[in-house]
Structure 1
Amino acid sequence: SYFQSLQAEEGSRYLRIDLPCPGPVATNFHKRPQQKASHDDSTNARELKMSAERCSRLIISSMIMPNGGGETWIAEQPTLLFCFLAQYLPGLTQVLLRTVIGPTRVGMWEAGLNLYDPSSIAKYRQMKQQEKRQGEKEKTE
């Protein structure tokens, strides 16, 4: 990456490189007071998003380290685990994205479910099972 090259060439002499990489952060960025959300963006205590306050504290704490934080991944689980998988097992990660995670998240989004609420996965699976049963029922009739 660009920042790794920059660190290798100039970082030790003249430049300190800190690269915080935050995952999903709970903010009001996409909300507009005049527009009603078409997808479920309800606040849920179990959401997989990190609070903006915690994210900023972690970024600052990584940057005040004497030797620099370098690249710092900041996310809640399971997002952080997935970052490690993508870094160290990229082939497996791509297979999971193409076959399981990607289609599930797209389906959840199309159904209007909150992508960061773990209970939405169960809701989506129930919806898919009901659709499957309905299709089987129509075939038998």
Structure 2
Amino acid sequence: TVSEGQSRSLRGTTTEVVGKAEDKSKRLTSERCATLMAAACANGVAEAWMSPQPVLLFAYINQYLPSVGAALARVIGPQRVAAYRTGTMDYSFAKVSNLCKRRKKSD
């Protein structure tokens, strides 16, 4: 089983909005995904997950430590939603927590 994370797909997919630029700088290239899949197959790995950090870390935590994952989601989830709403699509914990601190001060 190969579980692929965010990757750069072909242009013209059904989800593409014409004329809207999308930031794909944080996504894995197709070549990188293919290299990782080939390495997993060559080494007899039964299951391989490909995703950028920290997304992969949280996927592992949720899979193998669901109680810890649920606790982290309660803390980090609202911060990620706030970051999404302001257009800060960064996975830097420092940037997201600073955003939330500024938001609390303004409330």
* TM-score relative to the length of structure 1: 0.57
Q: Structure 1, residues 98-123: CA drift from partner, whole Å, max 9, x if none? A: x1222122211111222xx335861x
Amino acid at match of 2:48: T
| CA positional deviation for 1:93 | 0.7
2: distance between equivalents of 1:85 and 1:119? 18
Identity %: 29
Structure 1 unaligned blocks of 5 or more: 1-18, 136-141
2: distance between equivalents of 1:52 and 1:63? 16
Q: Give the alignment partner of residue 60 of structure 2, picking from 67, 84, 96.
A: 84
Please tell me whether the aligned partners of residues 50 and 75 of structure 1 are also in contact (alpha carbons under 8 angstroms): yes
> Which residue does 1:50 correspond to in 2?
28
The reply on whether 1:126 has 2:107 as its aligned counterpart is no
Please tell me whether the aligned partners of residues 20 and 73 of structure 1 are also in contact (alpha carbons under 8 angstroms): yes
Structure 2 unaligned blocks of 5 or more: none
Q: Structure 1, residues 67-122: CA drift from partner, whole Å, max 9, x if none? A: x432111122222222322232111111211x1222122211111222xx335861
Query: Aligned residue pairs: how many?
Result: 104
- Write the mapping of 1:23-38 to structure 2, written as runs, cut at 5 A: 23-27=5-9, 30-34=15-19, 36=20
Residues 113 and 120 of structure 1: CA distance in aligned 2, closer, same or farther (over 3 Å): farther
Q: Which runs of 4+ in 1 moved over 6 A?
A: none
SS at match of 2:53: coil
Amino acid at match of 1:88: Y
